[in-house]
Amino acid sequence: MAMALRYLRQLPPLLHNSSSGLVRPPLQVPLRHTALMLNGCRQCVVHQTMLTRHLATKKAKAKGKVQPQARVNINAAVVEDIISLGEVNGEMQAVVEALKEEFGKNLTIRTSPGALDHITVTTKDGKFPLNQLGQISLKSPQLIIVNMASFPENTAAAIKAIRESGMNLNPEVDGIIIRVPVPKVTREHRESLAKLARQLTNKAKDSLRKVRSNAVNQVKKAKSTVSEDTIKLVEKQIQQMADDTAAEMDKILAGKTKELLG
């Protein structure tokens, strides 16, 4: 009996030691290790995000879906200390107007009175468009009449200007009346004019590139006073303006080509 009582007295400590072996205290992780684990998680998230974007881009390319670039719309007043975007746009539009003028001078089918309007006549009083010196009318599809009654003294100068216009015309004079026979327009001639239209457009685009290049160079000179991001944004705006102007030229060319080839 006495031995049994001694055994029972020792039982609680044994039970405590046994239970302490079964229940583990919370895991204590050093603070340095915790920081490393969190940093590693951030890197995993960044890596996963980049991987997701990469896969999405590849998927879009595989489907042929290319997202259009956002257009730039800078307030010209904000960057006027760097460059005048209004002046750059004006120079680009001047190139477009010059192209239109070249089209009017060199790409006429010669079947309307307006075909001779652009011809410049050199007189003792200066240079004047032919339609300001004489009345031009179309007598038939193959004959244009220029009546020099208002300025008869300039008849010889007008004939000379018509012959040297580059339109392959051979005018005939009868007093103050100039008759201009119009050669029949062949398909070959129309195709030749369409080719010339492309050449004139390409030449105009060369001029446009010079305007863009000069503007970009001017912007780059301001690198010491403005941020690199601002420089890139203004350059993108200038490129966008040039692209829009080139697209306008292409539209003009398409219209002229359709007119020439019928």
User: How confident is the model over 130-142, as pLDDT tens digits?
Assistant: 999 999 998 887 8
Provide the pLDDT for residue 106: 77
User: How confident is the model over 106-121, as pLDDT tens digits?
Assistant: 787 666 667 788 789 9
Spans in the chain with pLDDT lower than 70: 1-69, 109-113
pTM for this model (two decimals): 0.58
Provide the pLDDT for residue 240: 96
Provide the pLDDT for residue 108: 72
Provide the pLDDT for residue 147: 96
Provide the pLDDT for residue 112: 65
Q: Annotate the chain with three-state secondary structure.
A: CHHHHHHHHHHHHHHHHHHHHHCCCCCCCCHHHHHHHHHHHHHHHHHHHHHHHHHHHHHHHHCCCCCCCCCCCCCCCCCCCCCCHHHHHHHHHHHHHHHHHHHHHHCCCCCCHHHHCCCEEEECCEEEEHHHHCEEEEEECCEEEEECCCCHHHHHHHHHHHHCCCCCCCCEEECCEEEEECCCCCHHHHHHHHHHHHHHHHHHHHHHHHHHHHHHHHHHCCCCCCCHHHHHHHHHHHHHHHHHHHHHHHHHHHHHHHHHHC
